[in-house]
Every structure is written in C-alpha cells, then in structure tokens.
Chain A
Amino acid sequence: MNEILKYTLMIVILLFTLTTIAAWLIWLERRMLALWQDRYGPNRAGPFGLFIVAADTIKLFFKEDWIPPFAEKAVFVFAPAIVAAAVLLSFVVVPFAPDILVADLDVGLLFFLAMSSLGVYSIVLGGWASNNKYSLLGALRGASQMISYEVFMGLSLMGVVMLSGSFRLTDIVMAQKDYWFVVTQPVAFVLFLTAGIAETHRLPFDIPEAESELVAGFHSEYSGMKFGMFFIGEYLGIILISAMVVTIFFGGWLGPFLPPIVWFTLKTFVFIIFFILLRASLPRPRYDQLMEYGWKIILPIALLNLLVTGGFTLLKA
C-alpha cells in the first residue's frame, strides 16, 4: 500500500511540475529571444514579466472554442490530446535522480522511442480532421518528417545501448560513471539532437507548421484550449528531448557536490536554452532539403557510427 501511495504521489508531483515548467518555458523563450535580439521582451506583468504566463493561460481559457462545421468532429477533438499524453507518458521512464523515477523498465529506451512515435498521430489526425488544405499539407509534411527522423533517432541511440549493454535508462546513466557517453559517441549525440529537434518539430525544423507558407500548418483550425494542448505538447517535447539528451549522453544525475536532482535540472536547462538559441539563429530549410538531408546524409552516418562502435566493442571484448 505504501509503495502505491509513494508512486501515485510521485506521478501527481511530476505531472504538476512538468506542466508548470512547460508553461513558464513560454516566458523563458520570449525573454531569451528578446535578449539575443537586443530588446526587452515581455517585462510588464509582475517581476521580469513573469506573470505573462498567467495572462496567456487565462486568455487561452476564455477564447471561443470553435469547431469548424466542416471538420471531422470526434477526431478533431481527440487529436490534440494525443501529443500531450504521449509526451507525458514518456516521462515515466526518465530517471530524474536515483530515487525519483516512476518506472525503471528494462526496455526504458524503447518505451521512449515508442511514445515519441505515437506522437505523430496528433499532427496527422489534427491536420486530416480539420478538412483544410493547409492543415492537410502540414499533416503530410509532419508525418513524413517524423517517421523519417524517428529512424535516425533510434539508430543513433543503438551505439549507446551497445556500450552500456542495456536498454534500462538507470543502467545507461550508471555506465557513465567514468566518462560521459558524449565523449565516446560524439556523432551519435549530434544525430540524436538533430533528430530530436525534428521530432518535436521545433524551429528550424518546424516544417509542418511553417507559417510563412501554410498559415499555421496542421493546427490552422484550432483555437482556445485545443490549440493550447498542441502548444503545451511542444514545450513538453522540448523538456523531454533535453532530459533524454542529458540522461543518455551527459551522465544524467551524476555530478559532484550538488544533489543529483539539481545536477539533472541544471543540465536539462542548458539544453532547453540551446533549443531556444537554435530558434533565434537558424533559418528554416525547405521541405525536400530536410528529407534529403535525413536519408542521404544522416542515415549513412548513423549506420557507419553503429558499425565502428560494434567493431570497437568486439575488439575490446
């Protein structure tokens, strides 16, 4: 009974913290973008403009929740929930600290990949159910982009699995006691980060919602809290990918002096800010360039990386 209570409490705390952080990220992103573009950003409501998040949320709640008459109603309502649910489910296997973790699955890494592959449905169904040509184009782009980059994401992680000999995320963290995997698997790290940006369809890879050509892509027809779901799902995705990069390549909670959870949070925020910096500095590639880049450059490099890692592992054994 005690065990159940402990895990239920952990899940509730985790859900609350994650959604809150995801909401504040919007403020963080706007402030950081402003800093890099030499302006102030939101600075009116509260200290440092921190209450802008409350204002945004209240506004979203009071917007008219409009379902277009030409939309496929059931799927239209259902689609935004998938992305938030899939991303939140992935956090089940993330080891925040040795004792702060919900489930230590022996196939944790695969669970993360499975949930991120289910996140595609949100875009595909949202775009299809909107019954709008811009949404449909966004959905088509999103589906092909995410399916392709999922492949490289999985392949780039297999080198780490070879070195640590396990899919369990705590084992992967413990295998980095002497040195981080970013030292032995630098290529895999770059590939995973690229694939991660494409998976969360963040700028510069936000091709499914490219607003200069597709209005707002797959969520053109969404308003109110349904749009909010897509929005919060995107920020949760950034937190998830940053947390996974830290767990897999940067030693997770390991670090001297400070308690584990502090190390984990610090490292994760470095990557979140890196994601925002990417948005501030890189232009968006064309859709066909993105696909070509994926299949003609990333795939061969990922396979080569696997081959070399396998060879070294065999030599050492």
Chain B
Amino acid sequence: MEIAFYIAGTVAVVATLMVITRHNPVHALLYLNVSLMAHAMLFYLLGASFAALLEIIIYAGAIMVLFIFVVMLLNLGKETAEQERKWLKAKVWIGPSALSAILFAEFLALVLSSGQAAYSPAVVSPREVAISLFREYLIGVELAAMLLMAAVVGAAHIGRHKRLVLHRFLKEEVEKEEEKHEEMVL
C-alpha cells in the first residue's frame, strides 16, 4: 500500500499546483476538490478512516459546494479569467518561486539528513476518536461549539429580512411592531 500512498501524494501536490495556476475560478475550485480527495486518501492509507471520510463529507461535499455556489452567484465569467491572466504573468512568479525554492531545499536537506520514517499505518477506529475528543480534548470541542454558536447567531441576524407587507394600511402596524421588537432587544 506504500505505492498507493505515493500516488495519492503526487495527485495532491499536482492538484494543488493546478489550483494556484488556473485562471478560471471554477476550474481552480474543482482542482482544490481533487486535492482534498487525495488528502482523504492519504488519511485513509495512514489508518485514519474516520478523518478521511469526514474530510470528504465536510470539505469536499459541503464547504467546496458553497464556494462554487458563491462563484456561480457572482457570475465570474470570461472577464475575470482575462484579468487573472494579466495578473499571473511569468514575471510575478520569479520572487515567490525563488523564496519557496530555498524553503524546499531546506526541507529536502532536513528529510534526507534525519533518515526516513517507515510507512507504518496505525488503524484508529471511530470509537477511539470519539473517546479522545470527549476526554482529552473536551475544552477544544467546547470552544469550537461556542465559536459556531456565535457564527450561527451572527448569520441569523444578518439574514433576517423585513417582513413582506401586502397592503399599505398594514405597513404602519408592522413598523410599530418592529419598533417594539427593537426596544425589547435593546
């Protein structure tokens, strides 16, 4: 299975490179999706099947769909791709590539000098994940829950829209009610 690991790793790297170099936003997002699935494969091959499938369900299946959803709504068409093409010239690449190359060389030197770790998958069952989440890392889970709650309240507030009034005589009543509501909130 070591070969499968390297294949998935290569796919992940290539897909991520394609994400950066695509001009069309939807194509870039599709490559990002491939990259996420390759990561899920890597997790699975290392024995973390639970994490692998959550990666697909949450990242590839929900978050990326929302990304594409927004891109679709913004209707980023040929003009955006054209603009990207203008911005992404060969000249722009020189600085970042040189700096990354230095980092990559350092990384290679480190990996080669410290010797290779053996590929040794340790299977982690969903039960073990649950137990460590709700014992050792309970504080993290609680904090994440609080953060999500705040986000949900914020989203509900932003998404609250004015009530539809079907007749002009009803309009004043609704306005009065809303004022009352505001006072109560304050």
Q: Which positions in A face B, CB cutoff 8 Å?
A: 72, 74-75, 105-107, 110-111, 113-114, 117-118, 120-121, 124-125, 127-128, 136, 139-140, 143-144, 147, 150, 154, 167
Residues of A within 8 A of B13 (CB): none
Contact of B49 among A105, A136, A143 (CB under 8 A): A105
Which one of A106, A107, A124, A167 lies within 8 Å of B72 (CB-CB)? A124
> Once the chains bind, are A118 and B69 in contact (CB under 8 Å)?
no
Interface contact A167-B56, CB-CB below 8 Å = no
Give per-residue flags for B50-77: 1 if the beta carbon is below 8 A from chain A beta carbons, else 0: 1011101100111001101100110000
Contact of B68 among A105, A117, A124, A167 (CB under 8 A): A124
Q: B57: which of A106, A113, A121 is its contact (CB, 8 Å)? A: A113
Q: Which of B30, B54, B65, B68 has the most CB of A within 10 A?
A: B65
Q: Given A107-B49, A107-B53, A75–B30 Cβ distance below 8 Å? A: yes
Q: Are B26 and A117 in contact (CB under 8 A)?
A: no
User: Which of A120, A136, A139, A140 has the most B CB atoms < 10 Å from its CB?
Assistant: A120
Closest Cβ neighbor of B49 among chain A residues? A107
Within 8 Å by CB of B69, from A106, A140, A154, A167, lies A140
The listed residue (A120, A147, A167) touching B126 by CB distance below 8 A is A167
Pairwise interchain contact B125-A106, C-beta atoms closer than 8 A: yes
A-B contact pairs, 19 of them (CB 8 A): A74-B27, A105-B49, A106-B49, A110-B53, A113-B53, A113-B57, A114-B60, A117-B57, A117-B62, A118-B56, A120-B61, A124-B65, A125-B30, A127-B72, A128-B26, A140-B73, A143-B68, A143-B69, A150-B62
Name the A residues within 8 Å of B53 (CB-CB). 107, 110-111, 113-114
Q: SS class of chain B's interface: helix, strand, loop or mixed?
A: helix
Per a CB cutoff under 8 Å, which of A113, A120, A154, A167 touches B65? A120
* A-B pairs, 4 with minimum CB distance: A117-B61, A110-B53, A114-B56, A107-B49
Return A18 CB to nearest CB of chain B, in Å: 22
Residue of A nearest to B69 (CB): A143
Distance in angstroms from A138 CB to nearest chain B CB is 11
Contact between chains at B54 and A110 (CB < 8 Å)? yes
Structural contact, B69 and A124, CB atoms closer than 8 A: yes
A147 touching B65, Cβ below 8 Å: yes
Given the complex, which residues of A lie within 8 Å of B62, measured CB to CB?
Answer: 117, 147, 150
Beta-carbon contact of A75 and B26 below 8 Å: yes
* Contact B66–A106 (Cβ < 8 Å): no
Q: With A117-B56, A118-B60, A140-B72 in contact, do A107 and B65 touch (Cβ < 8 Å)?
A: no
Known: A75-B30, A140-B73. A106 touches B126 (CB 8 A): yes
Smallest distance from the beta carbon of B39 to chain A beta carbons, Å? 13
**Minimum C-beta distance from A120 to chain B (A):** 5
A150 touches B61 (CB 8 A): yes
Is B126 touching A117 in the complex (CB atoms < 8 A)?
no
- A113 and B52 alpha carbons, distance in the complex (Å): 13
11 more CB-based (< 8 A) A-B contacts, given A114-B60, A147-B66: A75-B30, A107-B52, A107-B126, A110-B53, A118-B60, A136-B72, A139-B72, A140-B73, A143-B68, A150-B61, A154-B57
Contact A121 B56 (CB under 8 A): no
For B56, what are the chain A residues with a Cβ–Cβ distance below 8 Å? 114, 117-118
In the bound complex, do residue B61 and residue A118 qualify as a contact, i.e. CB atoms below 8 Å apart? yes
The answer for the CA separation of A167 and B50 in the assembled complex, in Å, is 10
Residue ID in chain B nearest A123 by CB atoms = B65
Q: Which residues of B contact A113 (CB under 8 A)?
A: 53, 57
Query: Across the interface, which residues of A come within 8 angstroms of B54, CB to CB?
Result: 110
Across the interface, which residues of B come within 8 angstroms of A106, CB to CB?
Answer: 49, 125-126
Cα distance A118–B57 in the bound complex, in angstroms:
8
Interface 1/0s, chain B 17-61, versus A by CB < 8 A? 000000000110010010000000000000001101110110011
Which residues in B have their C-beta under 8 angstroms from that of A107? 49-50, 52-53, 126
**B69→A110 contact, CB < 8 A:** no
Measured between beta carbons, the chain A residues less than 8 angstroms from B73 are 140
The minimal Cβ–Cβ distance linking B50 to chain A, given in whole angstroms, is: 6
Residue of B nearest to A165 (CB): B127
A110 to B56 Cα, complex, angstroms:
10
Q: With the chains together, A136 CA to B69 CA distance in Å?
A: 10
Q: Which residue of chain B is the closest to A105 with respect to CB atoms?
A: B49
Contact B65 A121 (CB under 8 A): yes
A28 to B111, CA, bound (A): 61
Q: Which residues of A contact B33 (CB under 8 A)?
A: 121
Q: Which chain B residues in 98-154 approach chain A with CB under 8 Å?
A: 125-126
Give the residue name and chain of the B residue nearest to A119 (CB). Answer: B61
